[in-house]
Structure 1
Amino acid sequence: MTGASDHPLHAGLTRALARAGLPAPSALERLSGGANMESWRFTAGAETCILRRAPSLEMMAGRPMDHAGEAALIRAARAAGVLAPEILVELEAGDGIGSGFVMRAIPGTPDPNAILAVADPQVLIRDIARELAATHRTDPAGIPVPVMDTAEALAELKARFISYGADRPILALAVRWLEQNLPAPVPPRLVHGDFRLGNLLVEDGRLSGVLDWELAHLGDPHEDIAFGCMTVWRFSRPDRPGYGLTSIAELVQAYEEAGGQPFDYDRFRFWTVYRTFWWALGCLQMGGYWRGGHDRSIERVVVARRTSEQELDLLLLLEDLAPEAERQRPLPPAQAPLQPGTGEPSGAEILTAISEWLAQDIKPLVSGRGRFDLAVARNALGIVARELDQRPVATDAALAADLMAGKADLATPGVLARLRRMALDKLTADVPKYPALANARARWEGN
């Protein structure tokens, strides 16, 4: 944290805040998290504010909605009764600090695990359902909100998958299923696009704010509901499919009672698979941002390795398509880990030593964003150490091509068992603490 006037953002923020009649910023602090955008907390006189900005202008290229459109939409949603932030001022090119806007801070925590630990599920799920319904009723007339054509969007995702190598069989399986189960169009409604724990603020057990509107578009409201119910966004409660709080049935009841659209379980299933696949590609894309020099933070490369979370979840979503005999087939044996040597330390052991040094000697010296980055760096070292030790295999271009073309599927003898083993081994190396992993291992390995 710093209040110094020589902070790289200080001069530009001062110019922007002056347009809103606010004094120069102080106590600038980079907040943790945020897969796409930076967030900074600061004070301006008596106001506590949040700056939301792109780490580089290149990251805004090709986005269907720029920050000006996002700010206008947030204002419209707030006017419609949604607990959206209050926009104070938008950045201009002359400010010299990129693209973004300043909001008045909303009280509450976005920490999913903290929320799930204390919230009354029946109370909070009604708040969530109310905000979902209010969002879907918002009229964004006059705002250049992109309209989503599901077939076109799926074709674009498939093209992205192919551009990334098209060599991950579980993702290929998902592409094939999505193409075969494309739902009919519906009258488009405003969709938040990122409505999940982590983007919701909760204070004293009640929802206090809905953040991060950058992915908003006009489309099928089921997409919002499904996205928040993805396993990855249930955090410490993968056993509660409704936002980590409750059952899908109770969520649907609360949503419809709040005036939401009539619920269709087939559409919900489609969008759950779609957005899980979408986030898998989003994780892979983070590696591209890093390679391209748009954002060289270590967080990018670590998020890229979370693709294996989505692969496990996709297989759990789709394995019911396999015949019973394939679902009961034993898995191939796991790759045996390398045995510890007695001579010079292995590469994995050296990485472990570095991680221990960071925890013991460096962690006490850092705070704030630095402590978050340190944790990410230790995660990165752990990923590489486990990969060297366990040698997981996540790619098979030939099998992926056959699955995407329909030449193989989950009824093909041995395919499901092989994909299960692939998903377990890769995720064990990448994110061994992923909450759904232990359940999947017990289910598939019988342990």
Structure 2
Amino acid sequence: MTAREFNFDGLVGPSHNYAGLSFGNVASFSNVKSASNPKQAALQGLAKMRELSRRGFAQALLPPQDRPNMRLLRRLGFTGTDAQVLEKAYKEAPVILACAYSASSMWTANAATVSPSADTHDKRVHFTPANLNNKLHRSEEHVQTERTLRAIFKDDKYFAVHPALPSTGAFGDEGAANHTRLCATHGSRGVEFFVYGRVEFDPSAPHPKKYPARQTFEASQAVARLHGLDLERTVFASQNPDVIDMGVFHNDVIAVGSGNVLFYHELAFANEAATIADLRNAMALDNAELVPVRVPAADVTVADAVASYLFNSQLLQKPNGKMALVVPQECHENAAVAHYLDGMVGSGGPIEELIHFDLRQSMRNGGGPACLRLRVVLTAEEAQAMHQGVIMTEALYARLVAWVEKHYRDRVEPQDLADAQFARECQQALEDLTQVLDLPGLYDL
């Protein structure tokens, strides 16, 4: 069956700020408490969406979360008017206030795990929002994520949206940041590939020592069951715990796949040979051939990969069957990475084109091009059944740019989070966004 891969990019919210809340994310931690530019961040993201849409790739967006999260602050004991709650939180617990303002939902690779209808038992597209329970600032997102997915994919003839997994350590789930799909064509039956950082019920299994492993084997198994996947065509692999301790907090910081191509660092997996063999064997069930693009540590160190976000790139299949790699500008500025990419593109391999974007506002907070998108494979009928107001067009781009210009600040500093006026600006922006996207009632403001 013919199908297309839609990239749903996260629309950067008006509260975009650098709070450094994500221990294990080196870029996020290194920019803590510096001033951010929400307007520039949103416009950079929109420019990327527009350009990829112009190039013929199927492009849509997911709206931001409702921030600040006043419900969280009130549940944690801050009382009074909204202004009083913000002031008290800023004085007594500024980190918790930053959590309530977190704009990390822009990285929609963490929003959910998605399985297309070609892979599932009931031939519907399945979504499971990630519980993101490893971090307070992200653990609240799944409620709105589920609500948003149900609003966009509301026809249960074609779509199934599950609740998030239980928010316990045993089922730590970080969504598509630790999941990819390999296939001969987007519409054919594929192999779903889950990468985990630890096994909750086997303490002897490999696990990192310095930074937390956010994805568990048990969570990956549960999502596969919920989606009704064929276990013969589902591969589970352990991430290399040593690279987690080097700042590779998600698998998409060290590997990315699309179609039949897997672009990965040689140190990505705890057992590289077994992982590649398992993927080859699963793909062979449907006469598909895996094309691995292996990056040796001698050419690109893990440190260079983390600094440049080389693997946190989008791998997009072009009409000619070859691949384009969407990379952040930092890849061009890192000498080792730039040298490797130039050689790779000129080698005649499956990746023949590089597309560079300036995403510095996102990169400084610890997320590159792949973090910004959630991939959803849809048939033509399924694409028509989803809400059309989130599909990127020239008209929608123009409306969103005008909306950003009207509502977003060009500078936000930590003390601004205590300003009730800033909170009102953020909420007014989201109220207006529901009209732009034709999604009334999206938020419980």
Q: How would you bin the TM-score normalised by the shorter chain? A: under 0.3
Higher strand share: 2
**TM-score, structure 2 normalization:** 0.24
**TM-score, structure 1 normalization:** 0.24
Higher helix share: 1
Point out which structure has higher relative CO (alpha carbons under 8 A, 6+ apart): 2
- Find the structure with the greater CA-based Rg: 1
